[in-house]
Amino acid sequence: MEKQLVLRHEDLELTATLHYPVGECSEQRSPAVVICHGFIGSRIGVDRLFVKTARALAAQGSFVLRFDYGGCGESTGSYGALGFESMIRQTQTALNYVLSMDCVDPQRVTLLGHSLGGAVALHTAVKDKRVGRLILWSAVGYPFNDIVRIVGRQGYDEAVLKGSTDYAGYTLEPVFFDTLQQHQPFQAASRFSGDVLLVHGTSDDVIPADYSFLYQKLFWTRGDGLCDKEIIFQADHTYSASSHQQEAIRVSSDWLTRLEKRHEQWLDWSI
C-alpha cells in the first residue's frame, strides 16, 4: 500500500509518498526508512530508483517515506534559494511525520541518502539523535566543491556576480552555494554514533568512489556504531543499469535485515 501526502514545512509544501509494510500495525512496531534524494533530484529518482527501493524495503517490513525537497519534484518553493541547512530541516520534518505514527519503532529509524542527499542525511543524523542508522549511496564528501564541479565554475561565478545562475532549469542563488560551504560531512562523520552502510560504484564519474573509502576510515575511528561498505563494479552515479540498481537495493535490504536480526537477538537476550 502506498499513500501520497503533503508535508507542511515552514512556508513549503513537500510532496511525499509513504509506503506501508506488509502486516502494518501489527503488535510489534515496524522500522522506518526516509529517502533523501540528491541535487535537483526527486523522490522518484533516476530510472525510478527510489520507487523501486521504497517498494523493496516496504516488502521487507519497513515503513518508507520518500519526499521531494522544496523546489524539486512536486514540492513548492525555489530549490536554489533554500540551501543545505533548509534541506536538513526539511528532512527533520519528514522524520517528524514518520515518528508520529504509532506503528513505527523510534529505535529503528534509517535515513537513506543519495549523492548530496547522503551529505544531508549525515548532517541530519548528527543533529537529530532520533536517527540510528544511515545508508549512504554515492555520498557527496565536499558539498561546495562537488556541486560547483557539477554546475561549472562559470555558473558559480555568474551566481555570485549576477545574483543567480541557471542550471538545468533551476535558479541557483549565492545563498545556496554559501550554505554548502558551511557543511563538511567528513568532519561530521565522527559525530554520528549509529550504524552506517556505504554503497558506491566504481564507474561513478560524478562523485569519486574514493569518498566511500575515506568515509569508512572516519566512521571506523568512532567508539560506537559499525560501518560496512559495498563497492559495486562498473556502477555509475545513479546506478542506471538494472543489475546495478538491483545490487544497490539488495545490499541495502540485506544490511537492514542483518540489523533487524541483531535487534531481535538483543531483545531476546535482554528479556
**Residue 263 above 90 pLDDT?**
no
State the pLDDT at residue 120: 98
Predicted confidence (pLDDT) at residue 129 exceeds the cutoff of 50: yes
At residue 77, φ and ψ (nearest 5 deg) are: 105, 175
Does 241 have pLDDT greater than 60?
yes
**Could you tell me how many helices (H) and strands (E) the chain has, helices first?**
9, 10
Among 17-31, 35-49, 92-106, 162-176, the least confident range: 17-31
Q: What is the CA angle 42-15-47, rounded to 5?
A: 25
What pLDDT band is residue 270 in, cutting at 50, 70 and 90? very low
Domains parsed from the chain with CATH numbers:
2-142+185-270 (3.40.50.1820)
Report the mean per-residue pLDDT for the chain.
Answer: 95
Question: With 0-12 CB in 10 A as exposed, 13-18 as middle and 19+ as buried, what is 158?
Answer: middle
At 203, list the grid cell. 564507474
Query: Which one, of 220, 221, 192, lies nearest residue 129 by Cα?
Result: 192
pLDDT-derived band at 153 (thresholds 50, 70, 90) equals very high
Decide: 98 and 30 in contact? Cβ < 8 Å: no
- Helix (H) or strand (E) holding 96, with range, is helix 84-99
Query: With 50 as the cut, is the pLDDT of residue 271 above it?
Result: no
pLDDT at 121: 98
Query: What is the pLDDT, as a whole number, of residue 79?
Result: 97
Please give the grid coordinates belonging to residue 44.
522518484
